[in-house]
Amino acid sequence: MNFENLKYETREGIAFVTVNRPEKLNALNARTLEELVSVFSHIDGDEAVRATILTGAGEKAFVAGADIAELAALTALNGAEGARRGQGVFGAIEQSPKPTIAAINGYALGGGCELALACTLRLASENAKIGLPEVSLGIIPGYGGTQRLSRLVGQARAAEMILTGDPIDAATAERIGLVNRVVPRDRLLPEAEALAKRILTRGPRAVAAAIEAIRHGLDMPLAQGLEHEAVLFGALAATRDMHEGLQAC
The pLDDT assigned to 180 comes to 98
| Three-class SS state of 182 | strand
Mean pLDDT, 10 residues at a time, the chain of 249 residues: 94 98 95 97 97 96 88 80 94 96 98 98 98 95 97 97 98 98 97 98 95 93 96 87 59
> Which one of 34, 59, 70, 134 is the catalytic residue?
134
Tell me the whole-structure pTM to 2 decimals: 0.94
C-alpha–C-alpha distance, residues 159 and 229, integer Å: 30
Catalytic residue among 35, 47, 59, 114: 114
* pLDDT value of position 66: 83
Alpha-carbon span 151 to 146, nearest angstrom: 9
CA distance 205 to 211: 10
| Bridge-based pairing state of the strands 51-56 and 107-109 | unpaired
Q: What is the Cα–Cα distance from 249 to 244, expressed in whole angstroms?
A: 9
What pLDDT is recorded for position 151? 96
Instruction: Specify the 3-state DSSP secondary structure of 74.
Output: coil
SS3 category, 54:
strand
- Separation CA 70–CA 72 (nearest Å): 5
* Catalytic residue check, 134: yes
Query: For position 67, what pLDDT does the model report?
Result: 80
**What pLDDT sits at residue 75?**
78
pLDDT value of residue 107: 98
C-alpha 157/C-alpha 43 separation (Å) is 33
